[in-house]
Amino acid sequence: EAQVTQNPRYLITVTGKKLTVTCSQNMNHEYMSWYRQDPGLGLRQIYYSMNVEATDKGDVPEGYKVSRKEKRNFPLILESPSPNQTSLYFCASSLYVRQPQHFGDGTRLSIL
């Protein structure tokens, strides 16, 4: 089954404790992206990747890192999480940049 898989689905952690949210797709898509969704602010793009070893900042990259060492994986790293990063996070992928995106189920992060 074609899918985008994110882990974990839910995480409660504390300020400053490094965490990684994994994202994997099995559709051989070139374009991958991370978003956060907050009430009243909608979906905002954090980082995106056009292909392996090609990543770029979206609208709200501060406090986040990404890497794209393999085509299928695009982890989101929070080196020193802070409470303002409490949010619902989505990973998405598409064959190319202008194609419709497939979204993962989402990761709900709470930073205390």
Smallest separation (angstroms) from other proteins to the CB of 84: 19
Q: Classify strands 42-51 and 31-38 as parallel, antiparallel or unpaired.
A: antiparallel
Q: Taking Cα atoms as reference points, which of 25, 19, 17, 47 lies closest to residue 35? A: 47
Whether the Cβ atoms of residue 107 and residue 10 lie closer than 8 Å to each other? yes
54 vs 80, beta carbon nearer other proteins: 54
CB contact at 8 A, 96 and 104: no
Rounded to the nearest whole angstrom, what is the least distance from the CB of residue 74 to other proteins in the complex? 14
- Rounded Cα distance between 69 and 102, Å, is 20
Q: Kindly state the smallest distance separating residue 35's Cβ from other proteins, in Å.
A: 8
Residue placing its CB nearer to other proteins in the complex, 40 or 69: 40
Contact residues toward other proteins (CB under 8 A) are: 33, 35, 40-45, 48, 50, 56, 58-59, 88, 90, 97-106
Nearer to other proteins by Cβ, of 5 and 18: the residue is: 5
